[in-house]
Chains A and B, each alone.
Chain A
Amino acid sequence: KQEVTQIPAALSVPEGENLVLNCSFTDSAIYNLQWFRQDPGKGLTSLLLIQSSQREQTSGRLNASLDKSSGRSTLYIAASQPGDSATYLCAAVLMDSNYQLIWGAGTKLIIKP
């Protein structure tokens, strides 16, 4: 059974720092992996999608990497800002699950001004 784990569960850093959020998955037979952002009481915003054949994707200050062999993905946020404060969720799509998302529990990120 595929499990997705996110560490840490919560993270608080001063504004301006670079930071890394971690996501691990138990089954390397994934189709793709998505990173999402959720603000309190809101829906999800898709940040980055990495296909299984890719190693990384970049969007602005965000960079997501994927290492299928080790079962890990990281989301790197450069020069963090208070507006980056949110819960970040990763989700893996399995090849044999009708492309359903398997969710991590999320990392709650607080950027202190």
Chain B
Amino acid sequence: GAVVSQHPSRVICKSGTSVKIECRSLDFQATTMFWYRQFPKQSLMLMATSNEGSKATYEQGVEKDKFLINHASLTLSTLTVTSAHPEDSSFYICSARVPPLPYEQYFGPGTRLTVT
């Protein structure tokens, strides 16, 4: 199956700093990627849909200026958490939609962000 990687797998940063998380599709081109956030013992929450070459579409309640998403190529999308605070600590997972239909989604291994 299709492989999606994320980097880094874990990151610890200080409050007020910014952190960038990369999501790559390794063996296919992904025009659409998704960014999710997962709190402990909860299901995934969709944050935004990332489309190559255009602005991301954010879900209601997700701050666009805080969670910057860039999808500059068909194999790479990045999520930057700006001015991170402890409440941003979470597990962030990306996925890539594999064309053509039925558009199965493949997921990255996730990034554990801890803000101290």
Contacts and interface: CB of A to CB of B under 8 A. Distances in A.
Contacts of B49: 98, 100
Interface residues of B, number: 22
A103 B93 CA distance: 14
Contact of A43 (B6, B34, B46, B97): B6
Interface in B10-57: 34, 42-44, 46, 49
Interface string A43-87: 111100101000000000000000000000000000000000000
Contacts of B102: 31-32, 49, 51, 93
Given A43-B6, A44-B93, A103 B108 contact: no
Contact of A42 (B95, B103, B106, B109): B109
Given A100-B46, A105-B42, A43 B110 contact: yes
A89 B36 CA distance: 14
Secondary structure of the A contact surface, majority rule = strand
B43 A46 contact: no
B22 to A, nearest CB: 14
A102 to B, nearest CB: 9
B43 A43 contact: no
Interface of B: 1, 6, 34, 42-44, 46, 49, 91, 93, 95, 97, 102-110, 112
Given A41-B112, A44-B107, A100-B34, 5 more contacts: A31-B103, A32-B103, A42-B109, A44-B95, A89-B44
Interface of A: 31-32, 34, 36, 41-46, 49, 51, 89, 93, 98-101, 103-106
17 contacts: A31-B103, A32-B103, A34-B104, A36-B107, A41-B112, A42-B110, A43-B110, A44-B44, A46-B1, A49-B104, A89-B44, A93-B102, A93-B103, A100-B49, A101-B105, A103-B44, A104-B43
